[in-house]
Amino acid sequence: MATRRLGLGLDVGTVAAQLRDCYASGVAMAPIREAFPDAKIEDAYAIQAANTAHWEAQDRVVVGAKIGLTAKAVQGQLGVDQPDFGHLFADMAVADGDIVAAGRLLQPKVEAEIAFIMAHTPDAARLTTAELIDSVAYALPAIEIVDSRIAGWNIGIVDTVADNASSGLFVLGTRPVSLGAIDLRLCGMVLERNGEPTSFGAGAACLGNPLHALGWLAAKMAEVGRPLAQGDIVLSGALGPMVAVAPGDSVEARIGGLGSVRVGFGKDG
């Protein structure tokens, strides 16, 4: 079977394997876009899909999806006009209040987000607000621990998409809240690191409303043949700026109407 090739002739499978090697070695790689300046976002999604298929063949289980680039300012920085997505695997979940072992991630940062747990697959032919609300079982506060296999977080759109949308781990709160009990657009967010507020935001920072992000994702996942399903977790996008973390740090996110969620980072040695 022919392999799909990028810019200067490096095939998708080779770049996918290079990214996987970063997980194993703990060493980040140079930006993909610099080595292959002709690579397009479609090539990056092909690399992401190759690694998703590889990991599923290794018995990792996809449990949902994450949405990235939901802030218009960040889209502008990367020269795109829409979000991106990556896959969530069951082994990426961290329990509320747990500690992430030192060395598990390369260069972690954290974001506070609203997570949706799906009640059923949204009808891609009628993604109205009503259809989206009806498709959600409940919401939870979440911390996404983003990471990058690209050295120094020197990323463009090709780099982050190929790298599973710069995914790392995720932490969900434990108190389900129905959508009727919160205002997704106006709910405020404070993220604290070691007890000090470091990031602020609101639901409106996520494409104007996290439901808009969910609608985009539902359409995109149906388009690529992996529609959202009952029980899937959706991380809808950051409500404020991401924050770098170091060994020994503790992080707590509080979101109005949803409650709080916490995670810590183990010390080296």
For the chain, list the domains and their CATH numbers.
62-265 (3.90.850.10)
Q: Is residue 261 within a helix (H) or strand (E), and if so which, with residue range?
A: strand 259-265
Contacts of 5 (CB under 8 A, 6+ apart): 11, 12
Q: Using CA of residue 114, residue 120, residue 122, residue 128, what is the dihedral sign? A: negative
Q: How many Å is the Cα radius of gyration of the chain? A: 18
Amino acid occupying residue 254: R
User: Within the chain, where are the H helices?
Assistant: 12-25, 32-35, 41-57, 72-78, 129-135, 157-162, 210-223
Question: What pTM, to 2 d.p., does this model score?
Answer: 0.94
pLDDT by position in tens, the chain (length 269): 233 444 445 589 999 999 999 999 999 999 999 989 989 999 999 999 999 999 999 999 999 999 999 987 677 767 777 899 999 999 999 999 999 999 999 999 999 999 999 999 999 999 999 999 999 999 999 999 999 999 999 999 999 999 999 999 999 999 999 999 999 999 999 999 999 999 999 999 999 999 999 999 999 999 999 999 999 999 999 999 999 999 999 999 999 999 999 999 999 76
Nearest CA-CA partner of 106 in 52, 146, 142, 155: 146
Q: What's the confidence (pLDDT) of residue 6?
A: 45
CB atoms within 10 A of CB 224: 10
CB atoms within 10 A of CB 22: 18
Retrieve residue 212's tokens. Answer: 């808009």
